[in-house]
Every structure is written in structure tokens, then in C-alpha cells.
Amino acid sequence: MIKKLGNTFVLETKKTTYAFQVTETKHLAHLYYGRKIRLSEDAAGVKEVHIFQPGNGISYDKEHQNFTLDDLKLEMSSYGKGDAREPFICLTHEDGSVTSDFLYEKYEIKENKEEICGMPSSYDDEGNASTLLITLKDKAYDLTLVLKYSVYPEENVITRSAELINDSENTVKIRRIMSNQLDLDAGDFDFTNFTGAWTREMKKSVMPLKAGKIVNSTYVGVSSNRANPFTMISRRNATEDFGDVYGFNLIYSGNHYSAAEVSPYGKIRFVSGINPEGFEWTLDKKDTFQTPEAVMTYSAEGFTGMSHNMHRFVRKHIVRGQWRDKVRPILLNSWEACYFDISESKLLRLAKAGKEEGIELFVMDDGWFKGRNDDKRALGDWEPDPKKLPGGLKSLCDKVKRLGLDFGIWVEPEMINEDSDLFRAHPDWSLSIPGKDHSEGRNERFLDLTRTEVQDYIIEKMSKVFDSADISYVKWDMNRNMSDVYSASLDKERQGEVAHRYMLGMYRVMKTLTEKFPQILFEGCAAGGDRFDLGILSYFPQIWASDDTDAFVRSEVETNYSYGYPMSVISSHVSATPNHQTLRRTPLETRFNVAAFGVLGYEYNFPDLYADELNQIKADIEFYKQWRELFFFGDFYRGRKYQDASDITALANFTGNELEWTVVSPDKKKAAGMLMQMLVHPNSETAIFTPKGLDPDKDYHFYNRALKYNIKDFGSLINAVSPVHVRPDSFAHNMLAKKFHMDGELEDIKSSGSALMYAGVHLKPSFASVGYNNDVRYYPDFGSRIYLVEELDNGDEEK
Ligand code: GLA
């Protein structure tokens, strides 16, 4: 709900209030963002009081000697009139001046959420959102700035963007234009961001906001694995369940910038938008520039409360199309099973083995198009390789479909190899500086998507591929960062526009293709998580979150994505052990458990596996099919988290070694929890799992799956029970392992939601050398369990 009280604008959601006021000077003073409050008409007590000009400060004008912009919370700050903090906007005017002064002119309230032109934006198909448009005019130049606020009451989310309109007869250069600015009163706050690299995305860093500024940005052309655009500001004492937490994101896939700055007066300023580094946009007369849309939320209920706001928002107002509310098919992808070495017969063997396990969708990854035997050639051409696929895509697809599986493929449409027919025909179609050496990344270059004819080429080529067979799923990859950014089709004065124009072109291509093929399930990918953002999620309902399929790495990566993104957009696969990225060995049980909380898939050479593993995988898939609605639609909670493995004190104190996740159905009738450990902590008999999000007043049945363990996992300990000596890994050992299995422990507890959550469930002890029977947990390094929780109906004691 949006209302105007006197000269105060109030934006209300179910649990939050956001307010700002027009000052006497016609600037916009930010008043408040936080838990819901009732404001008096004049905002007494909430607005700042400034009686004298601080020494050495800049007075705004003669009539307002006591008014300095530098120490006022503002909705947006123009550069040049005394506010020396991070500005919202920096322009170079025709006369060379870099000073702007945007002042309030009028407002409009709309009872809907409008799309943002040419860019992905949030949407509302439930009729709850409303929008406030604030029009500002520059005092000295003919420029209009419209600040757009949309309010999503149910999700406690506010989005912001800005549009600059050049009403003058001159061009103006935009050097910086942000999407969001939030000024907060001084306080003990932390800033959290998520940085990383290929195969180790989303490392969480919490930094105190004390002085100066912290910047979270990327300048590699894409939203990047080095700094995800999602960030948080939290009160220092905030925990998972209590305390002030703000979450911020940007619906954008290119160079982004967020900064949290502590002013000399202690106030906090947060800004976010397109990265001004390398960006310069010439705005012609009568032209407009629209910024990407920023997303923010606040919760007084700690990190979990903030995450839940973001999760609901992403699920309902970012992800769209036919797949939004549908559980996803369990897929088997050929990449880690075959890499580039594919052929129709090999793929069919894999698909057949997948079908036997219960797989629903078979995905042919890279390597299928002409000459693509490695990553050095053929990107751009998109014709099936006749040697590998003699009958083309259709023949393979039809055969896969006859097995009873859906069929999907991998593409990387935005890229071109120098060694391709496309490059030979159109050498100027890639982003590169004419006549200069180019730096390659994975032997490929970006196609120049600032050009309409290149966008049209991709749309046409991809349409042909998608139409050539009954394709149900597309993995849309993108495998490099930008370098040598230059478009041969733009004037030299406009080269600072290339990176953003690329994004606009890319969004046009994605929008056209996803609208043309609404039945296809698209999955975004960028060497794993190099472009995991809300821009991509506006077109593709899920993203391959990391090329790292190691269950331990993934358990942390997924925990950290979960701060800003729902698990239902995080694609997660079970793969071989030792793992191909880390050589770490983790139990199959854990590999499945971790993947099941995301969108489950496999990339695993099933035809190579032995009966034990195949049986386990089959049982896992069957289990997942029974429970996947919960995993997909449930509310996700983080519990305990790992501490740095090097923190010996933490381990010695029995903390920091465990990870807990719970997913709870919206009606709180069902839940699934995961407990995972990093390393075995010997002789620790007491282990506790603390589910979250249950109804404290309901009674529940808490139990686990009946699993069996391989006696070979106990190594030469077999000789502690065997009447004859068994040489480890000998024929006899393998024969025994085939015949006998160790029963896993069973938990079977009936208790109230309050007891399960607040006292924690005390589990059966894990193996501690002195004995093992079926009341003892087999729990090696990286061991884990899924626990199931179901509401007990009255008289349903036997469940
Ligand atoms: C990227 C992707 C992988 C795989 C390969 C294929 O690295 O992230 O999943 O598709 O490309 O070349």
C-alpha cells in the first residue's frame, strides 16, 4: 500500500514501513525503512532535526544556511551540491559541468506493477502490487528523473528503478546512474556479500561497517561468480531467527555495483546499480535511459525472515511461465559421464540405464554439433555432427522418447569460436577491437549482441535447433567473461555503452525464444554460477549453480545461495566419486541428500555402476518422487552451519562441524531435514538434529529412511566379526559385500513440533569404534541423513 500523508510518502507491506519526505528545498529526505510503524502526519520524531550548519559543511543555498545535504538521509543523491557520499547519479552536461540537482516536482500512484521496457523486471499477476512514480526535475538543466517504487505487500519487498529523460536540446553523458539508494541512521551494522570463482561460488563474507566503504562489484561483463549481486546489511546482533536484516538484489546480469558506505556522521548509505566503471552512456535529446530494477526487503525476524521474503518474491514475481509452479523432471545429463566423447549409441546406452533408474529427462550436453570434439571450435554453427549423430537431433530425440524419457540439449548461443563457419563469414560479429589482438576465454568470444542482426541470427539458429526435434529442455550455457570490450557497430564515443547494450540484446534474444518455446524448460548456466542472478531467472526458471558437484562444496554453496534465492531455482546433480572437481570421496547418500534439496539431477555414468549403487540410486529416485513436492514448494530453513575447517577450537567444542537444513510444506504438515557433518568427531555419542519451521502445536512423526550400508565401508574391521580372515578388497570381501549389508539405524519418534524444534531431536549415536549394531549410525566424514517429519493425525499412531 502506498499513501501520501502531507508531504510524506509511506510505502507499506505486511510487516514493513518505508517512508520519505519532500524537504523545504524539494529534496527527498529518506525517513525510515524497517518494521512496521504508524507515522504521524508530520513524521515527528522520525524525521531528522538540523538546527545549525556543521563546521566545514556546505550549505545548500542562502535561504537554507542550516541545511547541508551531506548529513541528511536521502532517497537519491545528485553529485555536486555538497553530498560527498556515494551518489545516485553523475552526469556530464553539455557545458562540461558535472553537477546535478534533481528536485521534487510531482507524484503518481498506480495500482499495478508495470514492466520495465527492454529489460527483465518483476511482475505481479495477483493484483497486489502498486507503484509510486516520483518525478524530479534538474534545477539547472532540462532533465527529468523518475524514481519508480513498486510495493509487494505479501512478500515484504520493495523494488526500485529510475528513468532519466533528456528534455533538453543537448546530449548529456551519464557516468553513473544507480537503481537503488538506501540511507540508514548510524548503527552497528555488518555488510555481507558472496564472492568466489569457478567451482567455488558463493563464499560468504561478513564485514563490519565501521568507516569508509565496502564495494561488491563486477567488471567482467556478467553478474559473475566473483561477486553475486545479492548482498545483505544486518544489525550486528542479528541471528537466523531474530534481528534486523536487509536483503538487496538487482534484476540484472551484467556489470553491477553495490557499495555500503559509512559517512563522516556515521550514517550508512547503500547504493546499487550498473557498475559505473567502464560505463558511459550518451543520452541524446528527447531520449530516455532506464536502469535495471533493484529489489530490497527487510525483516525483523533475522536472516531466515529476510530469506523467506526473497524466496517468495523470486518464486512468484521473478520466475515466470509454464514451469513456474511445476515440479521439475529428474534429469540425467551426459557431461560428467561422457564429456565431449559422445555418439548416438553411447548416449542411448546412458539414457536407457537412466530410464531403468527412474530418470525422466535425458540431456545431451556439449559435443553434439559439427566438429565439436573439444572446446576449441564450432560454437556459432549449431549443425548436428553427422559422425556422432548420423540421424541428426531428431533421430536421437525420437529414440530417447521411445525409451520413455524426455529429451533436452545443451547450447551456448552467445558465443563464437574463431574456428567456426560463422566467424569466417562474419569476423566483425564478435565483441573485439578491430585490428587488435584479442584475449580469448575458453577459446571463445562473445557474439556482438549490441547488433540487431546478430540477435536475429541467434534467434533464427536456436529456433531451428529447438524446432528440429521434440526438445523439452535446454541448458543455456555461457562460458567466459568479457575482455577487449568493443563493438564495431558503435561510434567510438559510444564504446562505454557496449557492456550494457550487450545485456539489452541478450535479454531480447532470451525473451523472444522463451516466449516462442513456452513449453521448453530452460536452465541457465555460465560455467556453473558465473551468471546466477534475477535477470536470468526472469527468463529461465532454474540455474546450474556450480560446476562443482562435490557434495561437501555444494552443501555450502547451496546454503549460501539460499540467503537470496529459493532452492527451487538451484539445479543440483549427483555425480561420481571420487568427485571430478575435487577428487573427494563422499557417500552416495550425501550426494543424493544435498542434491535433493535443490532441483535434482544426475550426471553420472550409470552403465559403469555396480548393482549396489544402482539399487541405491533407484531407491533414492523413488523416494524423491514421493517427496519432491515438499522439496520444491516447501519453505527452506537454515539451521547450524559449518565453521571454517581450520577453526580447531570450534570442532573441539562440538560446534561448527554440522550443517542443518529443513524444508517445511506451506501447511506445516510435512517436513524433511538434512543433517550433515564435515569430519568425524570421534567418541561423541550425543548428536542432535534441530528441525525448524514446524508448527509447535502439532504432533509429528519423526523418522528416517531405512538404508543399508556396504560392509566394505568398514574396511578390515570385517575381521573383528568374521570367523575366517578376509583380505580387504579381495574376491571374498567383494562376494561378502554383495551378499551382506549392514542395516542402518532407524529413528522413530512421536513428539510435538515444539519439542522437536526447541529441545532438538537426540539421535542414535554414531559409530565410535567400540561397537556397531543397527542402533548405531554409520556416519563417516561428510556423512549425512535426511529426516522426515509428518503430522500425526489423531488416531494415526501406527503411521
Ligand atoms: C560448462 C558448463 C558445464 C558443461 C560444459 C560443457 O563448463 O558449466 O556444465 O556444460 O560447459 O562444455
Percentage of the residues of the chain whose pLDDT score is greater than 70: 98
**Ligand 1 mean position to 685 CA, how many Å?**
43
Percentage of the residues of the chain whose pLDDT score is greater than 90: 93
Q: What is the pLDDT of residue 115?
A: 87
Region 568-590: mean pLDDT is: 98
Ligand 1 atom nearest to 603, measured from its CA: 9
Closest residue by Cα to atom 5, ligand 1, is: 366
Question: What is the tens place of the pLDDT at every residue in 690-719?
Answer: 999 999 999 999 999 999 999 999 999 999
Mean pLDDT, the chain, whole residue set: 96
Region of poorest pLDDT, from 37-46, 201-210, 213-222, 410-419: 37-46
Q: Pocket of ligand 1, candidates 331, 410, 478: which has the most ligand atoms within 8 Å of its Cβ, to mutate? A: 410
Region 732-759: mean pLDDT is: 96
Q: Pocket of ligand 1, candidates 200, 333, 334, 335: which has the most ligand atoms within 8 Å of its Cβ, to mutate? A: 335
- pLDDT confidence tier of residue 645, bands split at 50, 70 and 90: low
| Residue linked to cell 556453473 | 528
Q: What is the pLDDT of residue 796?
A: 54
SS3 398: helix
Closest residue by Cα to atom 9, ligand 1, is: 547
Ligand 1 site: residues with CB under 6 angstroms? Answer: 335, 365-366, 375, 410, 477, 479, 525, 527-528, 544, 547
Ligand 1 atom nearest to 475, measured from its CA: 10
pLDDT(403) > 60: yes
Radius of gyration of the chain (CA): 28
pLDDT(110) > 80: yes
Amino acid at the residue 347: L
**Ligand 1 mean position to 546 CA, how many Å?**
10
Beta bridge partners of 273: 178, 257
Q: Pocket of ligand 1, candidates 477, 543, 550, 572: which has the most ligand atoms within 8 Å of its Cβ, to mutate? A: 477
Q: The C-alpha cell of 625 is what?
A: 518422487
Region 549-575: mean pLDDT is: 98
Q: The C-alpha cell of 183 is what?
A: 540511507
CB atoms within 10 A of CB 126: 11
Closest residue by Cα to atom 1, ligand 1, is: 527
**Ligand 1 mean position to 332 CA, how many Å?**
14
Q: Residue 447 gets which letter from DSSP?
A: B
- pLDDT confidence tier of residue 681, bands split at 50, 70 and 90: confident
87 upstream amide cis, omega within 30 of 0 = no
Region of poorest pLDDT, from 9-18, 652-661, 667-676: 652-661
Q: What is the pLDDT of residue 422?
A: 97
Quick one: which H or E segment has residue 393? helix 392-402
**Ligand 1 mean position to 369 CA, how many Å?**
15
pLDDT(420) > 90: yes
**Ligand 1 mean position to 411 CA, how many Å?**
10
Q: What is the pLDDT of residue 650?
A: 67
Closest residue by Cα to atom 11, ligand 1, is: 527
Question: What is the tens place of the pLDDT at every residue in 477-496?
Answer: 999 999 999 999 999 999 99
Q: What is the pLDDT of residue 257?
A: 98
**Ligand 1 mean position to 343 CA, how many Å?**
18
Ligand 1 atom nearest to 525, measured from its CA: 8
Q: What is the pLDDT of residue 798?
A: 46
As annotated, the active-site residues are 477, 547
pLDDT(652) > 70: no
- pLDDT confidence tier of residue 770, bands split at 50, 70 and 90: confident
SS3 161: strand
- pLDDT confidence tier of residue 799, bands split at 50, 70 and 90: very low
Question: What is the tens place of the pLDDT at every residue in 624-634?
Answer: 999 999 999 99
Region 302-323: mean pLDDT is: 98
Region 747-774: mean pLDDT is: 94
Please say whether the dihedral angle defined by the alpha carbons of residues 29, 31, 34 and 38, taken in this order, is positive or negative: negative
Q: What is the pLDDT of residue 103?
A: 98
Are the CB atoms for 692 and 757 separated by under 8 Å?
yes
Region 492-510: mean pLDDT is: 98
Beta bridge partners of 131: 110, 150
Region 553-567: mean pLDDT is: 98
pLDDT(418) > 90: yes
pLDDT(561) > 70: yes
Tell me the C-alpha distance between 366 and 532, whole Å: 20
